[in-house]
Structure 1
């Protein structure tokens, strides 16, 4: 049984990274069925990709379980 792959809800990018899945769950909804790549999530939230990357690092530093 292989690992589950996730696809961006907006652009269709296949095989989203662990960080893309984690940040979608953290900022949208832990139980969401729709995942976003960083670029599409940034556009949806009206922030920059760099801001999302910075938040990911913050959450990792805090020990957030979604980024382990």
Structure 2
């Protein structure tokens, strides 16, 4: 994943996990992404559930986005 990606809303630099969870939950075809905080606001769940999902996908090893 590119290091020069920034959140569409708040413009903070995005980590690979930010992009991966966005692709997993929102759209695999998007090229502009949200950080965990903004995505949590959009999905009305907050940041913590997204962090737990990231940890789950990393541990399961079944999703190629989180390898």
Q: Is the shorter-chain TM-score for this pair beyond 0.5, marking a shared fold?
A: yes
CA distance in 1, matches of 2:5, 2:66: 16
State the match for 1:58 in structure 2: 56
Question: What pairs up with 1:22-33 in 2 under 5 angstroms?
Answer: 22-33=20-31
TM-score normalised per structure 1: 0.86
Gaps of 5+ in 1: none
Cα distance in 2 for residues equivalent to 1:56 and 1:30: 16
Say which SS state the counterpart of residue 6 (structure 2) adopts.
coil
Write out the 4+ residue segments of structure 1 that deviate beyond 2 Å after TM superposition: none
Matched position secondary structure for 1:54: helix
Q: Secondary structure at the match of 1:12?
A: coil
Structure 2: stretches of 5+ with no match in the other structure:
none
Q: Report the count of equivalent residues.
A: 65
Give the TM-score of the pair, scaled to structure 2: 0.87
